[in-house]
Amino acid sequence: MENQKTIDRGALRAISYGLYIVSSSRGDRFNGQVANAVMQVTADPMGLAVCLHRDNLTTEFIKSSGHFSVSVLERDTPMTFIGTFGFKCGRDIDKFAACDHRRGSTGAPVVLDHTLAVIEASVKMQMDFHTHIMFLGEVEAASVLREGNPLTYAYYHEVKKGKSPKNAPTFGLNEGRRQTEGSGK
């Protein structure tokens, strides 16, 4: 008897996410990308996990440098800003050219525009899983920049009408979301 998977993509859309910019450096070059697969995994020592597509430039920079930063985006982040970090490639443009940023204590760039909080981590472990690499990092520095509401993935899709780029773990949910929206659900 063949084992058949029954997967309702709607169940995956029910998982709550935020939207973040994950950044790293290689030498004097910075790169960053929008990511939704970021989570705290331990409290003492404080640890984070970020999961990025294996082909992305940010992934290469994290593997090379051993550090990354996470900038927590505010709800009112403009779509043009999200587009720069989420739909453009750092191999083609300098994503940091038009945004306020600084080099963090780990060496990773920290995006300051449209950011509520920043966290820096050093990589302690990485794990390959099909198309993505999960980096587990120990938090080295963190600060709140301003109060506000974080941008959630649900808000990004439902209010801003944003989509997932092709290398995002949730890219396959774009189609199901359009079907759900079109059916009035």
Query: Which contacts qualify for 154-159: CB closer than 8 Å, 24 or more apart?
Result: 154/16, 154/17, 155/75, 156/19, 156/82
Q: How confident is the model at residue 170 (pLDDT cuts 50, 70, 90)?
A: low
Strand partners, 22: 33, 70
pTM equals: 0.87
Domains and CATH numbers, the chain: 9-182 (2.30.110.10)
CA angle 35, 37, 39 (to 5 degrees): 120
Buried b (16+ CB within 10 A) or exposed e, 23-47: bbbeeeebbbbbbbbbeeeeeeeeb
Residue 168 pLDDT > 80: no
Query: Both tokens of residue 19?
Result: 């939207």
Average pLDDT over residues 169-179: 48
Residue-wise pLDDT tens digits, 9-59: 788 778 888 999 999 999 999 999 999 999 999 999 999 999 999 999 999
**What is the distance between the alpha carbons of residues 24 and 66, in angstroms, rounded to a whole number?**
9
Residue-wise pLDDT tens digits, 134-160: 999 999 999 999 999 999 988 988 888
Residue-wise pLDDT tens digits, 90-143: 999 999 998 999 999 999 999 999 999 999 999 999 999 999 999 999 999 999
Closest to 77 measured CA to CA, from 181, 132, 180, 152: 152
